[in-house]
Amino acid sequence: MKIGYKELRHNPKYTKPQMSDEAFLRTMLDLDQPELAGVAAQLNQGDIPGARDAYLEVIAAGNNGRYYFEVKDVPKLRVYAASRYSGEEEAQQDIAEADRIVEGDIPLFKGKRVVFRNGAYDWNSWLFDSSQYQLHLTRFVYVKRLARAYALTGDEKYAKCFNDMISHFIDDNPMPVEDTFRAEHSTWDPLSVGVRLFMLPEAFITFFGSPAFEPAVKLKLIKSFHQHGEYVRKYHASGGNHVCMQLRGLIQTALLLPELKDSAEWLDYGGRELPGYIRQNVYPDGVQFEGSPNYHLIVMRDLYELVTLFHKLGLDAGEYRELLEKMFVVTMHLLAPDGQLVKFGDTDVQVVSELHNIMSLGAYLYQRGDFKALGYERLPFSLLWRVGPDAAAQYDQLQAAMPAETAACFPVGGYVTSRQGWNHSDMYMAMRAGVGIGGHAHSDALSLVLYAGGRELLADSGMGLFEWNKERKYTVSTRAHNTVVVDGQDQHVRSFHWNTPPTASCRIWDTQFKEAYDYTFASQYGYTRYEDPVIHSRKVLFIKNSYWLIVDLFEAKGQHRYEQYFHLPPGIAGYDSISREVSTRLEEANLLLKHLPAGLADDQLTLEPGLIFKQGQYDESPVVKRSLTVTGSAAIVTLAVPFGAEKPQVSAERLPVRQNGELLSVQEATALRIVMEDRVDEICLFHKSVDVTSYLDHTGNIISEGLLPRKTEPEAVEFAGGLFNRDVIVIRDSKS
């Protein structure tokens, strides 16, 4: 049965060919513009090829400020690129990739490639095991490789490849009639259309002066840009990251082709509508609302591309500029010591060099040395095509300086990060404690990841492929994250794959960033939907350069089963049933998890297999699962200790803690003596400083911010021979 775009794309009932050159030039160009007088004259004489060439000459003249660089700037860019960058790794990679693309060997994503020999492109195949690969094929991220290789070498084979490829694509994929295939993951799904609007212009301008880029194909691509603009204007998304990409593409197309009659309206519409969608996507603290650092980066890209373009064209970036700087700050803190973004939500392994490039752009835009410290010493090759040669000297003079802050809290977006320092081997923790909106968010409230020794030691299970199968359902579930499952259910009830309700409500109650320790305290309310509501709170105490203490607290009245999950990296892990310690057995960097007794008969600790997704591949990894059945309030205490090759000796015993002479229960305070090989620490976390049940009212709705109670420091806490008036007590290097 023929029901999809792939089968019906050449059926005139469902798709339509491009206009003729004459019809397009006569009806779609604003021939009243003075610079188009030559086009109008040729049309009046009936010389259609002459009219076409006259229009192409207008673009080649480069007097309108249509892109990051003009056609007339390309020769200068080519000379500069070849002289400054030709020997650099990024430039050489572009040439190597472009050579493969010329041979029909095209990179997709997650390490996958597809080969089309002799120009026999198949744009609508189901590639590998996911529609995502076909979508990436048709979004043309890779054509920038051709353009940059051409700039470095001057080899016309790259221009010819682009010319032939884009001509084939346009002919083989006509525009649908109305919204026939709008809901389908196909070549003309509205997101792919919007992405092409900003992926293709760099090659369009770079190759414009090449003899291998044929005039007929140039106009064919211009007509396609117009069709894409029409489609996005009518069928763009109503929210989420898609609409940001689509309207960004519409704005860039309007600037790229100001001679189109529709461009003025597109520019006005995009300028009017996009700010509202950006505010919808990005919270005031700079965090994108989908609970995924990857999609934070995607929306941030829309802003930094527009801000950079507006800067080049002398346009006012308005509120975009201030918000973008906040997004750069968030990105800075979400960069783990291995140079990757932490993998909350739909986030996969990134290309580290591209992350460095992004921070370099932030350094240039905002003249910030801390951004540059996470970027490159010299202006990266990829940024040459956005900021131009004149920016290189200014960038090179900017002094890099490691960020002063080693911890950060983004209370609205829901990220807390804490690190020993900014070196590759430093300890690092990130916690997810915010509401995620849309299908890219996972049920991961209060999940955390831990790094030490240059690697991820407590891992997130990753994004998975976007097929609604058992693997994807696992990766978005609560049990796939380093948090707690209550009574076997996810923290929030997911409906269809993408049309899912927001994730569990969260509240970050307190953060304390000190010289000796960092402390985080947050709660999640996903399980308050139960008849007997359960509130899960998590406290993480980072003793600098040494270990993390993780305390999970539960407020409930009845009996519930709590399953705490900790996901270890792929490899071997060992379990000592006597000490209740689980440790990895990896090279150089490892993690010890020590589970303190809860004093319950039903307290099981097991190792079971889980899945970790990276770059298109699911791998099995060990998962530590602790299961307890508890009636009423409860506390689960875990020590996480990183180590090298030799597992350390660690012991922990509970200490008494009193308030006003009354002995406090383990649900009211966690008091421990932790003995390491080099010292003894005495720690007390007081748990009654905030009434976590006050976050919701009697109807189950969140209390207004102004009415929420604030933390109350305790009085007269008797611990370790002292009297304290604070809820976090750390006595380091004490004598046993």
pLDDT digits (tens, 9 = 90+) for 3-13: 889 999 999 99
Instruction: Give mean pLDDT, residues 612-629.
Output: 92
Rounded-to-10 torsion of CA 383, 387, 393, 397 = -70
Instruction: Say which DSSP state 480 is in.
Output: G
The pLDDT assigned to 441 comes to 94
Determine contact, residues 427/435, Cβ cutoff 8 Å. no
Checking if the pLDDT of 735 tops 70, the result is no
The pLDDT assigned to 734 comes to 59
The pLDDT assigned to 601 comes to 73
> What is the identity of the amino acid at 275?
P
Residues 144-174 have pLDDT tens digits of 999 999 999 999 999 999 999 999 999 999 9
Determine contact, residues 459/569, Cβ cutoff 8 Å. yes
Determine contact, residues 569/598, Cβ cutoff 8 Å. no
CA dihedral for 395, 401, 406, 407, sign (positive or negative): negative
The DSSP-derived string for 64-97 is S--SSS-GGGHHHHHHHHHHHHTTSHHHHHHHHH
Distances (CA, A) of 730 to 511, 517, 551, 589, 638: 15, 8, 15, 26, 17
Instruction: Give mean pLDDT, residues 683-701.
Output: 92
Checking if the pLDDT of 557 tops 60, the result is yes
Checking if the pLDDT of 497 tops 80, the result is no
The DSSP-derived string for 403-426 is -S-SEEEETTTTEEEEES-SSTTS
The pLDDT assigned to 130 comes to 78
d(CA 208, CA 205): 5
Determine contact, residues 143/162, Cβ cutoff 8 Å. yes
Beta bridge partners of 606: 625
Residues 170-229 have pLDDT tens digits of 999 999 999 989 887 889 999 999 999 999 999 999 999 999 999 999 999 999 999 999
What proportion of the chain, given as a percentage, has pLDDT over 90?
86
Instruction: Say which DSSP state 697 is in.
Output: -
The pLDDT assigned to 50 comes to 98
Instruction: Give mean pLDDT, residues 646-669.
Output: 94
d(CA 498, CA 320): 28
The pLDDT assigned to 467 comes to 81
129: its two tokens: 């095991």
Determine contact, residues 512/518, Cβ cutoff 8 Å. yes
Instruction: Give mean pLDDT, residues 585-600.
Output: 92
d(CA 344, CA 505): 16
d(CA 695, CA 445): 16
The pLDDT assigned to 701 comes to 87
Q: How many other CB atoms sit within 10 Å of the CB of residue 539?
A: 23
Determine contact, residues 543/517, Cβ cutoff 8 Å. yes
d(CA 53, CA 44): 14
Q: Mean pLDDT of all residues in the chain?
A: 94
Determine contact, residues 484/535, Cβ cutoff 8 Å. no
Q: Which residue has the tokens 């021939």?
A: 31
Helix pair 190-199, 131-139: axis angle to 10 deg: 40
Instruction: Give mean pLDDT, residues 10-38.
Output: 96
Helix (H, G, I), strand (E, B), or coil: what is residue 713?
Answer: coil
Burial class (CB in 10 A: 0-12, 13-18, 19+), 261: middle
Helix (H, G, I), strand (E, B), or coil: what is residue 388?
Answer: coil
Q: How many other CB atoms sit within 10 Å of the CB of residue 655?
A: 15
Q: Which residue has the tokens 């990134």?
A: 350
Instruction: Give mean pLDDT, residues 631-653.
Output: 95
The pLDDT assigned to 615 comes to 80
Distances (CA, A) of 445 to 257, 505, 585: 45, 8, 28
The pLDDT assigned to 2 comes to 66
The pLDDT assigned to 259 comes to 97
Q: Which residue has the tokens 């700079």?
A: 286
Checking if the pLDDT of 690 tops 70, the result is yes
Q: How many other CB atoms sit within 10 Å of the CB of residue 694?
A: 12
Contacts of 50 (CB under 8 A, 6+ apart): 42
CA dihedral for 499, 500, 506, 512, sign (positive or negative): negative
Backbone φ, ψ for residue 451 (5° rounding):
-130, 145
Instruction: Using the CB atoms, write b or e for 323-356: b if 16+ within 10 Å.
Output: bbbbbbbbbbbbbbbeebbbbbbbbbbbeebebb
Residues 319-329 have pLDDT tens digits of 999 999 999 99
The DSSP-derived string for 163-204 is HHHHHHHHHHSPEESTTTTTTSSSTT-HHHHHHHHHHSHHHH
The pLDDT assigned to 344 comes to 97
What proportion of the chain, given as a percentage, has pLDDT over 70?
99
> What is the identity of the amino acid at 487?
D
Side-chain-side CA neighbours of 417 within 13 Å: the count stands at 27
Residues 54-99 have pLDDT tens digits of 999 999 998 778 999 999 999 999 999 999 999 999 999 999 999 9
Contacts of 634 (CB under 8 A, 6+ apart): 553, 554, 556, 562, 598, 628, 667
